[in-house]
Amino acid sequence: MTFKKLLFVCMGNSCGSPMAEVIMQNLMVKTSLYWEVDSAGLRTWNTGRRPNKRCLQILREHGLRSDHFCRQ
């Protein structure tokens, strides 16, 4: 089986793209889609760090969690 791949990209991979990745993964579970989903940043500012605290808080408020570490 060949999986489609989806990459969300933002400037630093610390908020927008990690949130989009987690939300999409959650939607795929609900709809039985099987895609490879990832996120990355254009810059290396946050490489190796956890996403923005506000980003993680918003995800938690919606019952989602992320083990993401920022990458380029």
Question: How many domains does one find in the chain?
Answer: 1
Beta strands in 1-72 (DSSP E): 4-10, 35-41
Domain that holds residue 19: 4-61
Q: Is residue 48 part of a domain?
A: yes
Q: Is residue 67 part of a domain?
A: no
Q: Is residue 46 part of a domain?
A: yes
**Which CATH number fits the domain that encloses residue 46?**
3.40.50.2300
Q: Is residue 71 part of a domain?
A: no
| Per-residue model confidence (pLDDT) at position 50 | 87
Q: Is residue 66 part of a domain?
A: no
pLDDT tens digits for range 3-44: 799 999 999 988 899 999 999 999 998 998 889 999 999 988
Q: Is residue 56 part of a domain?
A: yes
15 belongs to the catalytic site: no
| Per-residue model confidence (pLDDT) at position 56 | 92
| Per-residue model confidence (pLDDT) at position 64 | 94
Catalytic residue among 10, 15, 55, 70: 10
